[in-house]
Amino acid sequence: MTTYKDIRGTHIVTVTSDPPAPANGQVWYNSTDQVMKGLTANPAGSWASGGNLNTARRLLGGVGIQTAALAIAGDLIPPAASTNKTESYNGTSWTEVNDTNTPANAIFGFGTYTSAIAAGFNPGPGAYTGSESWNGTNWTAAPTYNNSRFDGGAAGVSNTSGLIFGGFDSTFKTNAETWDGSSWTEVGDLNTARYALMGAGTQTAAIAAGGEVTGNNRSAVTETWNGSAWTEVADLNSSRKNDSGNGTTTSALVYGGEGPAAARTAKTELWNGSAWTEVSDLSTGREQLAGAGADNTSGLAFGGTTGTNSTATEEFTSPVKTTVTFTTS
């Protein structure tokens, strides 16, 4: 990686105020403060606390980005009951907005906080084929999809363009379906049948990671979708199910979940398009959480369970940039 030294050399510039956007490794002398300063960046990033959800829940859906997200439905324990509550995040706090029409848990969805699809609703006995569309104000029933499932993965940018994949309903699912704003269409299957997995991306470029596979085993398998087929790529470093994440096929995060020996994990991994790297952990291990975020530089983790249902929200930033002051003599 090219550094500031490579570009500008070692000459230290004197300034009266700190530069507005210094490069990693840049050093300057602030004549007003009469100190030498520099910028350092931590590529592992860090998690920081955000505003708590109003309702503690697990198995909820999440869509959006770090500063504009939706928390959708989920499971309340206690009491053991599904909820239809929806909350909107503005980067600081959560606000209750209009509920989904049907209470549900193990929800999965795609889109933004103003335009989204949520799937995994049960419109009738033995069928998890229900979906609802969000227009920024209200939820309305959308057409049912073809293969009954809950707790699947999803990717998409709005309530008119998305993809769902995997999931469970008596069997582990490989099925994938696209949504065009009016109907669902079956497309190419995942290579590995699984549910409780992370999904992110768009209708034509998606990523699936982790999940539960046959035998109550946790998976590290990652697959990417190019609009016509799924391809297995590099595995996660830590197998997990009930994980969450966000991003794209070239820039993504996975966080939380249940790892080996049924232990809740705080581990976070960053995807750069070819490999996963472990970065800073969540403050507390939790599973069945939801996530939102645009890429691997920012993420939002919320809800889930640590043994009890959680309202906690955490915000990931990478790299973390810090201005340091040098002591000179």
Task: Give ∠ CA 279-75-157 in degrees, rounded to 5.
Answer: 55
- For residues 179 and 117, the answer to whether their CB atoms sit within 8 Å is yes
Question: Which tokens belong to 277?
Answer: 């790297």
Q: Which residue has the tokens 């104000």?
A: 137
pLDDT(3) > 60? no
Distance of CA 37 to the CA centre of its chain: 35
pLDDT given for residue 49 in this prediction: 98
The share of the chain scoring above pLDDT 70, in percent, equals 96
Sequence ranges of the domains in the chain: 4-42, 46-317
List the one residue out of 266, 296, 301 whose CA is nearest residue 283. 266
Task: Round to whole Å and give the CA distance between 198 and 255.
Answer: 9
Question: What confidence tier does 6 reach under pLDDT thresholds 50, 70, 90?
Answer: low
pLDDT given for residue 41 in this prediction: 74
pLDDT tens, position by position, 88-130: 999 999 999 999 999 999 999 999 999 999 999 998 777 899 9
Distance of CA 300 to the CA centre of its chain: 7
pLDDT given for residue 20 in this prediction: 87
Give the chain's mean pLDDT: 93
The share of the chain scoring above pLDDT 90, in percent, equals 81
Looking only at the bridges linking them, the beta strands covering 27-30 and 13-15 are parallel
pLDDT given for residue 82 in this prediction: 95
Question: Which tokens belong to 117?
Answer: 């699809």
Task: Round to whole Å and give the CA distance between 76 and 74.
Answer: 7
Task: Round to whole Å and give the CA distance between 130 and 79.
Answer: 24
Q: How many CB atoms lie within 10 A of CB 83?
A: 19
Lowest model confidence (mean pLDDT) among 10-14, 203-207, 260-264: 10-14
pLDDT(4) > 50? no
Task: Round to whole Å and give the CA distance between 192 and 309.
Answer: 30
pLDDT given for residue 1 in this prediction: 53
Secondary-structure breakdown of the chain: helix, strand, coil percentages, each rounded to the nearest 5: 0, 50, 50
pLDDT given for residue 38 in this prediction: 83
pLDDT tens, position by position, 184-236: 999 999 999 999 999 999 999 999 999 999 988 999 999 999 999 999 999 99
pLDDT given for residue 243 in this prediction: 98
pLDDT given for residue 138 in this prediction: 98
pLDDT given for residue 255 in this prediction: 98
The better pLDDT of the pair 176, 5 is held by 176
Give backbone dihedrals phi and psi of 321, rounded to 5 degrees, phi first. -100, 130
CATH dotted code for 46-317? 2.120.10.80
Beta-ladder partners of 280: none
Q: How many CB atoms lie within 10 A of CB 77?
A: 15
Q: What is the pTM of this model?
A: 0.88
